[in-house]
Structure 1
Amino acid sequence: MTPRTLRTWAWLHKWSSLVCTLFMLLLCLTGLPLIFHHEIGHLTGTEIEAPQLPAALEKQRATADEVMASARKLYPDRIVQFMGKSEDDERLWWTTLTPTPEPTMDYKSVTVGARTGQVVGEYKVGEGFMDLMFRLHVDLFAGLPGKLFLGFMGLLLLVALVSGVVLYAPFMRKLDFGAVRHERSARTRWLDLHNLIGIVTLVWCFVVGATGMINTWADLLIKYWQQEHLAELLKPYAGQALVPEAERLPLQRSLEAAQAAAPGKKLFFVAFPGTSMSSPHHNTFFMRGDTPLTSKLLQPVLVDARTAQVTAAPQMPWYLDALLISQPLHFGDYGGLPMKILWALLDIATIVVLGSGLYLWLKKRGPAVVPAGVGKQALDLSR
């Protein structure tokens, strides 16, 4: 690699790292508690959990209509936009209630017991430490622009990782792998630690950075799917108005029709007519499998709200499958508590890498020169 090429890679590494470092530190710090959000909620008492019931009542199940009616009793002036089974405990339903079917941040989240059909609790939207961490991590309280901005920071992180690997090879030519030169200056020791921890956590950083970037595109990908794929299926309903609630058949009938159309799958959530994930004419049921992988992949089943007839059950396009897989992988939700602990340790290591990179840049004094054939100085240029 020529000195000029080394300088180019060093420039890419330095500026991509510097621009994204503070935001990546924010994402790592906010992401750490989010990895354990269920566990933290359980310890603090903010997690809504299914109550203990007599054994005779354990197997009974309320109908979907009873669940929806219980949630609406709390807020009779609102409609149910979405309703679904809890991903962690199927003894619970969650419901989202809003003033209108349109997308809004003004919503109430009510949890209903699947066995009794009675309200179990209400999630306080926009309140508490975990909600603050989530909003900072997802969109910086800026909605879609905030998501896309963080996605761009994720792209810069990937550039920094690739350029760091390119520079790492010539840097390590004259050093043993993992060597930390304790006899040298503090800056040199931190440089060695920065490179060592960085190369060890490289794959994890790349996976989490890439999945995080993909997640920021969720709103755009869903909108594209609705316009390019879902719209084609809804052509027979073109020009028809939103189905009034009084003309809709019981939700349980539509649910049973959807389950029959997707054998071997179970309900994840339902989007009601007129909402962002459905059409003005359908209850759209999103079904999922029962394995660690298929439970993350969804299949929509469109059921006519007036007739309870299934009109379509399309497969999700590849880009939405990629999005659905990337979401739990980003937070380590595939392997239970052991994987969460591993994710947390790697997150802490990444904080050390980011912090040390910032320290190295602040401590750098004077411009460096890259002699021909020497990689170490090229790497120094990137700090």
Structure 2
Amino acid sequence: MMWSRLPPRFVARMLSGHTVVGLAASVLLYIVCLSGTVMVFHEEFERWEQPGAPEVAPGFEDISPQTVQHVANNALARAKGKPHHFYIMLPIDDMPRMTATTDETTWHADTSGELVGEVHHPWTDFLTSLHYYLTLPAVLGLTLVGILGVLMTALVVSGVLSHPKLFRDAFTFRLRAGPRLRETDTHNRLAVWAMPFHLVVAFTGAALGIATIVAIVFSLTVFDGNVEDFFAPIFGEEVDGSQDAAPLADIPAALNNFRAQHPDLVPWYVSFHDPGTVGQSAEILAQHPGRLVYGDNYYFDANGELTGSTGLATGDIGQQVTASLYTLHFGSFGGLLVKLAYGVLGIMATVVVASGINIWLLKRRQRGRAAPMLERTWRATVWGTPLAMSVVMLLAVLGIGAINGHIAAFWVLLMVLITVAGFTERLSSALLRMATAGVLATTAVVHLFINIEHFHSPAAFGISAGLMLAAAWLARDVPRKSERRASRFEASENRA
């Protein structure tokens, strides 16, 4: 193995760089990894937040192309003014619901094409803001998260290069050793076992975020500040035409023509730019089963005749790679089993981040340079983040506050926990875990009682069961483990 023959000096430099990058990115990277793990199940959470919304069989088992036209007519009749963009989401396996979206509002639709209430999922909206943007303004947040993706990629590479015996010791677990060796084995083993996943998630996250910076720079220097022009060769472009009134493009004809010409593809969205005008443009976004691309756009004219596609599934390799980044990053391929695998791998990535800082803190302690305040604040970060997220989830279920209030609640609670931990040892990991378990269990119970009359979505049962299992895991054997870890830290300090 080439790693076993790396020069010691090179290995030492890699380890030093690995430590520096890890320390610099630790808190934000931990939050991004944890929120990303939960974000894998964002579609299930959306269904869980509104379990009574109509569930529609994927494809055209429960609906017809004429039903989709009826949805469009109803939504446009309710729209305030003339919408610039208009979307109808068709039911698919991962999201068996039909919705209609104008510039301001999204509605659920039933199998008859009637609108039956607005889409409302504040917890998922908060989760999206936290993972995509760290709740910052969009451009700044995407840029920061992209930089964290670059740093995570650097951590994976430097971690491999700084441990020549990493693969040879891939199954070494010294569970009865001291805290430092136990944390080191946990860190290294999980890093090795999930290394391909870590690289894929880090690279795709970096690409999705850094693309924003590149687009802004190029748009300012080449495209007169128009970011859309930068992405046009990949995702296509919108063409502004006459705003004179005209009938809406023929949706049933377009869907029938699409099914006849592409029977193996799955229509997902019917989208309009300037609907109901002479200059309207319309397209069908379709999934390509067995492909990593999220889909491809197929254009149709006012009569429903297909006129071409963007080429995301059949164009240049760059287009196809770009269209695959999102699905690779979130595991949006292969159904629930792939999502569950991504969930487990995401937890592993989160543990790797947490254990990396634990190792550094234990090394300081064993060298006689213990930093008790840092240890306590890091512990509060690790266990306070899921607690703060759980509190936001409970607030969302109770209908308390909106997105800005939830963002404020998350950061204020997390900062309070970290600050308090800096001045007292009473805020232990056991206490934070028990608190998180209590909030998760309470959320599941409250959600059940609020939605008891229409608790029929399979995703609602799955998410609620997952919350109860997570609560049970967090609360397991907490007092005994807390005492045992405290005694190990004491012994470690005495040996130092």
Q: TM-score, normalised by structure 2?
A: 0.59
Percent identity reads 21
Q: Distance in 1 between matches of 2:258 and 2:178?
A: 67
> What is residue 312 of structure 1 aligned with on the other side?
308
Deviations 1:150-185 (CA, angstroms, capped at 9, x unpaired): 111111111111111112215677xx5433446754
Which residue among 35, 52, 69 is the counterpart of 1:30?
A: 35
Q: Distance in 1 between matches of 2:115 and 2:251?
A: 18
Kept in 1: contact 2:43–2:95 (CA 8 A):
no
Question: What pairs up with 1:358-373 in 2 under 5 angstroms?
Answer: 358-365=357-364
Q: Distance in 1 between matches of 2:89 and 2:96?
A: 11
How far 1:327 sits from its partner (Å)?
Answer: 1.9
> What is residue 150 of structure 1 aligned with on the other side?
145
1:299 lines up with 2:296 in the alignment: yes
Question: Secondary structure at the residue paired with 1:199?
Answer: helix
Q: RMSD value over aligned CA atoms?
A: 3.6
Kept in 1: contact 2:18–2:155 (CA 8 A):
yes
Aligned residues: 339
How far 1:116 sits from its partner (Å)?
Answer: 0.7
Deviations 1:26-68 (CA, angstroms, capped at 9, x unpaired): 122212332333444445544733279xxxx946553433111
1:167 lines up with 2:154 in the alignment: no
> What is residue 371 of structure 2 aligned with on the other side?
none
Change (3 A) 1:10 1:314: same
Kept in 1: contact 2:204–2:326 (CA 8 A):
yes
1:94 lines up with 2:115 in the alignment: no
Kept in 2: contact 1:83–1:93 (CA 8 A):
yes
> What is residue 379 of structure 1 aligned with on the other side?
none
Kept in 2: contact 1:71–1:111 (CA 8 A):
no
Which shifted more, 84-93 or 135-144? Answer: 84-93
How far 1:149 sits from its partner (Å)?
Answer: 1.6
Question: Secondary structure at the residue paired with 2:118?
Answer: strand
Kept in 1: contact 2:311–2:319 (CA 8 A):
no
Q: Distance in 2 between matches of 1:282 and 1:346?
A: 41
Deviations 1:263-284 (CA, angstroms, capped at 9, x unpaired): 5434222331259xxx954212
Q: Distance in 2 between matches of 1:166 and 1:328?
A: 29
Q: Distance in 1 between matches of 2:281 and 2:159?
A: 50
Letter in 2 for 1:48: A
Q: Distance in 2 between matches of 1:228 and 1:199?
A: 35
Q: Distance in 1 between matches of 2:365 and 2:142?
A: 37
Deviations 1:167-205 (CA, angstroms, capped at 9, x unpaired): 2215677xx543344675422332222212221221221
Question: What pairs up with 1:74-153 in 2 under 5 angstroms?
Answer: 74-77=78-81, 79=83, 80-88=85-93, 92-98=97-103, 107-113=104-110, 115-124=111-120, 128-141=122-135, 142-153=137-148
Q: Distance in 2 between matches of 1:120 and 1:17?
A: 49
Work out which structure has the larger RCO, using CA pairs closer than 8 Å and 6 or more positions apart in sequence: 1
How far 1:227 sits from its partner (Å)?
Answer: 5.1
Question: Secondary structure at the residue paired with 2:246?
Answer: helix
Kept in 1: contact 2:296–2:309 (CA 8 A):
yes
Q: Distance in 2 between matches of 1:228 and 1:333?
A: 20
**More strand by percentage:** 1
**More helix by percentage:** 2
Kept in 2: contact 1:272–1:284 (CA 8 A):
yes
Question: Secondary structure at the residue paired with 1:244?
Answer: coil
> What is residue 334 of structure 1 aligned with on the other side?
333
Q: Distance in 2 between matches of 1:273 and 1:39?
A: 29
Structure 1 regions of 5+ residues with no counterpart? Answer: 99-106, 369-383
Change (3 A) 1:179 1:81: same
1:211 lines up with 2:211 in the alignment: no
Question: What pairs up with 1:242-253 in 2 under 5 angstroms?
Answer: 242-246=242-246, 248-253=248-253
Change (3 A) 1:184 1:258: closer
Question: Secondary structure at the residue paired with 2:324?
Answer: helix
Question: Secondary structure at the residue paired with 1:62?
Answer: helix
Question: Secondary structure at the residue paired with 1:24?
Answer: helix
Q: TM-score, normalised by structure 1?
A: 0.74
> What is residue 382 of structure 2 aligned with on the other side?
none
Question: What pairs up with 1:183-332 in 2 under 5 angstroms?
Answer: 185-216=178-209, 220=215, 223-226=229-232, 230=236, 241-246=241-246, 248-257=248-257, 262=262, 264-274=264-274, 281-289=280-288, 291-293=289-291, 296-305=293-302, 308-316=304-312, 317-332=316-331
Which shifted more, 216-225 or 320-329? Answer: 216-225
Change (3 A) 1:313 1:112: same
